[in-house]
Amino acid sequence: MKDNKSIKQNSKIVLNRDENYEYIVPAVDRAARILMLLRQESRDMTIAEITEATGWHKSSVHKLLVTLTHHGLLDRNEATKRYSLGMVLIGYGQFVLNNLDIAYAAKSFLKELADFSGETANYSVLRGKRVVVVDSIESRLELRVVPPVGTTDSLTAKSTGKAILAFLPEKQADKIIQADGLGAFTKNSITDPKAFHKELAAIRKQGFATDFEEFRDGISAVSAPVFSATGQVKGGLTLVAPAFRMTKNKAMLYGKKCAQAAAQLSSMIS
């Protein structure tokens, strides 16, 4: 069982406006959205498919594709005329990971959590208003959940997002909840703002967050926040598993273990 996140929209790509919208450069924004589209679709695409998905004029899309290909951010298969993410992005990603000192320090804790539970352990960091998986140790069990490194989610989704959101300044958290909304991903999703705030209060009290099939049917997880030396929440340690194995009793046990590991990791961050 893989938790391969695939964000697909039936409508055209929608621009999420925020307080910095007036400073966004349209051409750069569109280029970034093409990269995100190919990442989300997890396949190569033709210019016609990209044009349809974005709703932009074909000539504009063509110019963007040529420019991105010129810089190695996209690769073009000359035989099929399909575009895919470029190999140069691997180098960029590795550079970012190599400079994440916290992620390096988290490796030993991920191994400890994976060995303790037998499930997949991952470490995610807060990037702007999103949470990004930067490292993971996969479960050795045949049936397992493996969020790929690079998976990006809203802070209102999954246990990792909730664990981080619960410890952000209240005004900042409220703004994110209002902007992102509370999606009804499954029948267990918390879509009522009052109930969601109550959930965040419980997370602050117990020190970790749970996700009992709230984001994906059949998948459950627990997460604990990681803090900087100044007390700012920076990311989260997570254990994720098929729901039938992560019972509520195990989730409490794993959650406490995650919280202990996160506290130790936090103490190492300067």
Per-residue pLDDT of 231-259, as tens digits, reads: 999 999 999 999 999 999 999 999 999 99
- Tell me what percent of the residues of the chain surpass a pLDDT of 70: 88
- Mean pLDDT over 111-138 rounds to 93
CB 140 within 8 A of CB 118: yes
Residues of the chain with CATH 1.10.10.10: 21-91
Higher pLDDT, 92 or 217: 217
- Compute φ and ψ for 125, nearest 5 degrees: -120, 155
What's the chain's average pLDDT?
Answer: 88
Give kind and range of the element (H or E) at residue 201. Answer: helix 193-206
Residues of the chain with CATH 3.30.450.40: 100-268
CB 107 within 8 A of CB 267: no
β strands within 181-253, DSSP E: 209-212, 219-227, 233-242
- Mean pLDDT over 153-180 rounds to 93
- Mean pLDDT over 114-125 rounds to 95
**Residue 10: predicted pLDDT:** 35
Higher pLDDT, 55 or 14: 55
Q: Give domain 100-268's CATH superfamily.
A: GAF domain (3.30.450.40)
CA-to-CA distance for 105 and 266, rounded, in angstroms? 10
Partner residues linked to 127 by β-bridges: 130
- Compute φ and ψ for 191, nearest 5 degrees: -110, -10
CB 155 within 8 A of CB 180: yes
Q: Is the pLDDT of residue 51 over 90?
A: yes
- Tell me what percent of the residues of the chain surpass a pLDDT of 90: 69
Taking CA atoms, 3 is separated from 6, 22, 29, 122, 217, in Å, by 9, 35, 28, 13, 10
Q: Is the pLDDT of residue 112 over 50?
A: yes
Span of 15-24, 194-203, 206-215 with lowest mean pLDDT: 15-24
pTM beyond 0.85, yes or no: no
Task: With cut-offs at 50, 70 and 90, classify the pLDDT of residue 8.
Answer: very low
Query: Under CATH, to which class is 21-91 assigned?
Result: mainly alpha
CA-to-CA distance for 20 and 177, rounded, in angstroms? 17
Q: Is the pLDDT of residue 119 over 90?
A: yes
Q: Is the pLDDT of residue 137 over 90?
A: yes
**Residue 228: predicted pLDDT:** 86
